[in-house]
Amino acid sequence: SGAEIACHGSYDAATDARELAADQQAAGAVEAGATSGNRFHYLRWEPTSTPQLLAAAGIGYDSTLGFAEHFGFRNSYCLPFYPFDFARQTTHEFLEIPLVVMDTTLHHPAYLQLSADELVPALEPVFAEIKKFGGVASMLWHNQNFSPANTRNGPAQFHQLMTHLQQLGARFYTGAQLTQEIKNDQ
């Protein structure tokens, strides 16, 4: 139906090429000529092996590099970038789209525990920085949080955040669309 399907790599897939391949296959995220994306479960990233696995798997973009504990810029950077490959002394060919905020971060008892009315005010400074630099506000909103019964980080709060981003003049892309736009600009 035109929707993008990407891989949500399992915990072990961040360090195991066979697991990543199995996850890609299970998601149907491997198609000839298609840009396949990825985000690892628990935002797992091993700097010495994960980038090489993504590159070898032909991943077009990844959106794992973010924080579970708080929102913001894990790489001090709000723009997509090509991670550096230290072994080859050049950049990898997959695009990293930094994850800015995850729904669980906002309400989980181990994390920020924000109330529903605190979400937009808490994120406004981050969104202002993104706008200032023409960056990307990649957000992870788990499907189970779209239940109308969820009043902390559910559909109403997601709608408030999307409305706020629209008011800031944000454009909305899938990972594949953003990757293609960046490639076209190079």
Helix pair angle (155-167, 119-133), 10° resolution: 30
What pLDDT is stored for residue 34 in this prediction?
A: 55
pLDDT score at 186: 82
Q: Is this model's pTM higher than 0.75 or not?
A: yes
Q: In this predicted structure, what is the pLDDT of residue 32?
A: 44
Instruction: Give me the half-sphere count of Cα atoms (radius 13 Å) on the Cβ side of residue 59.
Output: 35
The enclosing H or E element of 100 equals strand 99-102
Report pLDDT for 56. 92
DSSP helix/strand/coil, 138: strand
Q: Mean pLDDT for each 10-residue chunk of the chain (186 residues)? A: 84 95 81 72 94 93 96 94 94 96 94 96 97 96 92 93 96 93 90
**Residue 26 pLDDT:** 85
Task: Please give the backbone phi and psi of residue 30, each rounded to the nearest 5 degrees, phi first.
Answer: -115, 105
pLDDT at 33: 45
The pLDDT value recorded for residue 175 is 93
For residues 54 and 137, give the distance between their C-alpha atoms in angstroms, rounded to a whole number. Answer: 22
pLDDT score of 135 = 96
